[in-house]
Amino acid sequence: MKIGIFTFQRAHNYGAALQAYALMTTLKRYGHEVIFIDYWPDYRKGMYDLINFSFLKDPSTGLLFKFKKLVNVFLKLPRNVPRNRKFNQFFQKELDLAINSKYTKGENIVDDCDLYVFGSDQIWRYNKLFLFQKGFDPVYWGKYPITAKRKIAYAASMGMMEMDEDREKFVKVHLQNFTAISVRENYLKELITSLSDTPVSQVLDPVFLLEKYDWQKLSVSNKTTPKEKYILFYHLVFSKEALKLVDQLAKHYSLKIIEIGSKEHLLKFSRRYNQVAGPIEFLHLFSQAAFVVSTSFHGVSFSIIFQKQFYALGMKKNSGRVQSLLESLAIPERLIDKADQADLNQAIDYEEVACKLNLQKQKSIKFLESEIAVFATTRDDVIRA
């Protein structure tokens, strides 16, 4: 059977790249041919270019903002050049993607797969599609390929957002494109259930479908990996409270600080930053960390996979998916709002967490197996007929 995956397969984001790898690897283990439907729309073009001057055309920003942004572009080049190269190498070697994307428009997507899997990641997010336009991308809601017989959603996510009448109408109509639906968060399961007659399952993010040793085999170290014990601070959204907690933990446990994230402090660059790590080096940094603090869902996920002591904070309204995951594993206290809420002497009991995680993993795998089996049975019946 040939399976096509719709996801954010070209995002220069550690979580996006690694969840794509995990879903592809899991499906391949069932003996299927698996490809990514290499859709990368025009509104995402240039997003990860080394030098992107599109912000200069934005009439809503002033000259001072544009000047600061321009300076920042050039200051980040020493980081972005090796980092981009490593991401592109990962896409080509591990995800089997060509140098350039195949599709920029949904209507051009060729229907040449038996089954399509949409997910994971926040493919259902309400996005900025063009300069002055926001909306859902119907491609990720199963509109294309129009002729496809079977489309399923696996661990799809939307992020936190307010629903209005127009958005609910769009979601309700496009959910009809899927023959089976699973989502990542409990609150999204409740929302989708209220808008669809199709049963909705809650499943794990694909990164949890692989074992710890699978990720260890993929990870590699480099010369920037410290020999001494360190706390890893990984942030997608910078948080002063998270930084405060990192400093407290580093002092309490006598740890070096390694930081990967969205905001650089140039004066501290040589002391604590590893901004050139590719996806597989990112994995190694997690696997060797003594403690982790993160403002990212996948930062929390890999902390759990590698069984690290960790805290999550600084996500504000985007904390829903982390909260849902931690509550399901009975460790909600690892998500905090303030640095002083952390118990520096409390350790996670990973024996209990592993049991709960394994039950969810089996449920998630069962969802995939059953949907693949249903299609295989239907296809065989058609062939015999």
pLDDT tens readout for residues 190-234: 999 999 999 999 999 999 999 999 999 998 766 667 788 999 999
The reported pLDDT for the residue numbered 262 is 64
Task: Give the angle subtended at the CA of 136 by the CAs of 132 and 142, to the nearest 5°.
Answer: 145
Number of domains in the chain: 2
**Beta bridge partners of residue 273, listed in sequence order:** 259
pLDDT tens readout for residues 146-191: 888 899 999 999 877 788 999 999 999 999 999 999 999 888 999 9
Strand order in the sheet with 33-36: 33-36, 2-6, 115-118, 151-156, 180-183, 200-202
Same domain, 86 and 189: yes
pLDDT tens readout for residues 61-80: 778 777 777 777 777 777 77
Rounded to whole angstroms, what are the CA distances from 256 to 17, 303, 320, 354? Answer: 27, 18, 30, 28
In a domain, 295, yes or no: yes
The reported pLDDT for the residue numbered 264 is 56
CA distance 370 to 354: 24
In a domain, 145, yes or no: yes
25 three-class SS: helix
In a domain, 355, yes or no: no
Containing 152, the helix (H) or strand (E) segment is strand 151-156
In a domain, 336, yes or no: yes
Q: Exposed, middle or buried by CB within 10 Å (0-12, 13-18, 19+), for 57?
A: exposed
Alpha-carbon torsion angle 293, 294, 297, 299, nearest 10 = -70
Same domain, 63 and 153: yes
Q: Is the bond into 194 cis (omega within 30 degrees of 0)?
A: no
Same domain, 24 and 152: yes
pTM here is 0.91
- Domain extent for 124: 2-209
Phi-psi region of 159 (alpha: psi -120 to 50; beta: other; left: phi over 0): left
CA distance 236 to 231: 17
pLDDT at 271 over 60: no
pLDDT tens readout for residues 4-51: 999 999 999 999 999 999 999 999 999 999 999 999 998 888 777 777
Q: Which two tokens stand for residue 247?
A: 């400093």
Same domain, 16 and 134: yes
